Copies of this chain bind each other. A is one copy, B any other.
Amino acid sequence: MTFPRALAFDVFGTVVDWYSSIARETNAFLSQYLPSVSPTDFALQWRELYPPAMRECVSGNRGFVVLDTLHYETLQTLLGTHGLDVSQIDPDVLWALAYAWRRLDPWPDVPKGLVQLRSRVPVVTLSNANVELMVALNRFNGLQWDAVLGAEFAQTYKPNPEAYLRTAQVLGLKPQQLCLVACHHSDLSAARACGLLTAYIDRPMEYGGAPAPDAGYAQDWDWQAKSFTELAFQLQS
């Protein structure tokens, strides 16, 4: 096994706990406008609207649109589904809610584990988040990266191969020298198809304990760990 020359991280789910953070961040709004909707259900529903919105861009049906905008659009769709007339709500209020995705807490093992991993090799984000969102999120949770790469740099979303290959290229690496760290089998599967190394992080609470939708993509990944600190330990040996 080649030791990775750099680590590229999926962020939503792998680094941060979007499920409980989005529930927390939408709680006040829902209490006021949709008190019968559970914030954790709302978080799951909002997340479910993201893959189809993104696929419109990956498929070429739509040009590249940054994730902040997709969050804003899917938020309006979801609120409409719950019977809310979004045209009656101040767009600034809706944007502040869409920016909930900039205020997500890391999993408990992440701050320490990321420092350990970064002491060995460069660590970069390889997320579908746009740069503005990722910069805000990193400043919110205090995580330090060597670079913010991924979708906006490549001008296409994962799982388009270009998102992975462009990240390796700007780091001056061959695909097999870069390792994707992710809690999603589907993401790792696409990365492996591009030649990248793969490290799976188990995040059983990503969907609040519900099964992940991509179990069918499970493979024997190059590394498998329950936390960033465990991955750092594995990569020491």
Q: Which A residues are closer than 8 A to B by beta carbons? A: 68, 122, 124, 130-132, 134-135, 138-139, 144, 146-149, 152-153, 170-172
CA distance A202 to B135 in the complex (A): 29
Question: Which chain B positions have C-beta within 8 A of A68?
Answer: 172
**Number of copies of this chain that the complex holds:** 2
Give the nearest-CB partner of A135 in chain B. Answer: B146
Question: Which chain B positions have C-beta within 8 A of A153?
Answer: 153
Q: Say whether A135 contacts B122, CB under 8 Å.
A: yes
Q: Say whether B152 contacts A135, CB under 8 Å.
A: no
What would 25 A/B residue contacts be, using CB atoms closer than 8 Å? A68-B172, A122-B135, A122-B139, A124-B135, A130-B170, A131-B147, A131-B149, A131-B170, A131-B171, A132-B170, A132-B171, A132-B172, A134-B147, A135-B146, A135-B147, A135-B171, A138-B146, A139-B146, A144-B144, A146-B148, A147-B147, A147-B148, A148-B148, A152-B170, A153-B153
CA distance A153 to B170 in the complex (A): 9
Give the nearest-CB partner of A136 in chain B. Answer: B122
Question: Which chain B positions have C-beta within 8 A of A134?
Answer: 147
CA distance A23 to B144 in the complex (A): 31
Taking the closest CB of chain B, its distance from the CB of A206, in whole angstroms, is 26
Question: Which chain B positions have C-beta within 8 A of A172?
Answer: 68, 132
Taking the closest CB of chain B, its distance from the CB of A71, in whole angstroms, is 13
Question: Which chain B positions have C-beta within 8 A of A152?
Answer: 170
Give the nearest-CB partner of A121 in chain B. Answer: B139
Question: Which chain B positions have C-beta within 8 A of A147?
Answer: 131, 134-135, 147-148
Question: Which chain B positions have C-beta within 8 A of A171?
Answer: 131-132, 135
Give the nearest-CB partner of A131 in chain B. Answer: B170
